[in-house]
């Protein structure tokens, strides 16, 4: 039987995997081409510490065109809410 601590640890590991955005190689490729990652851009837009991400663990159910064999972290979409200059904003 899983304990709460085990489940919590598994959830944190899953969260870290999703937030890694495909791993250091993909992030490095973005940086090498002079781009920031989507989460980095959101970090610049929103007031520090105010962005709260939603639906981090969303997964598609598509099976056509080999989509059932692909993994896209957070389905390539980041949604959430926070404040910009103290005003509420959803992204």
Confidence of residue 1 (pLDDT cuts 50, 70, 90): low
Q: How many helices (H) and strands (E) does the chain have?
A: 3, 3
Nearest to 31 by CA among 41, 46, 18: 41
Query: What is the pLDDT, as a whole number, of residue 9?
Result: 92
The rounded percent of the chain whose pLDDT value lies above 90 is 45
Residue 44 structural domain:
4-90
Give pLDDT tens digits for 26-53: 889 989 999 998 889 999 999 999 999 9
- For residues 53 and 55, give the distance between their C-alpha atoms in angstroms, rounded to a whole number: 7
| Number of domains composing the chain | 1
Mean pLDDT of the 9-18 span: 87
Whole-prediction pTM value?
0.73
- Find tokens 């304990």 and name the residue: 3
CA torsion sign for 39, 53, 51, 11 is: negative
The rounded percent of the chain whose pLDDT value lies above 70 is 96
């Amino acid at each position: 039987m899983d304990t709460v601590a085990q489940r919590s640890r598994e959830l944190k590991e899953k969260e870290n995997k999703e937030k890694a955005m495909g791993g250091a190689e993909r992030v490095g490729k973005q940086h090498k081409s002079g781009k920031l990652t989507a989460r980095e851009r959101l970090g610049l837009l929103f007031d520090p510490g105010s962005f709260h991400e939603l639906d981090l663990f969303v997964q598609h159910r598509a099976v056509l065109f080999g989509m059932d064999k692909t993994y896209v972290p957070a389905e390539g979409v980041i949604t959430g809410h926070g404040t910009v200059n103290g005003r509420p904003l959803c992204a």
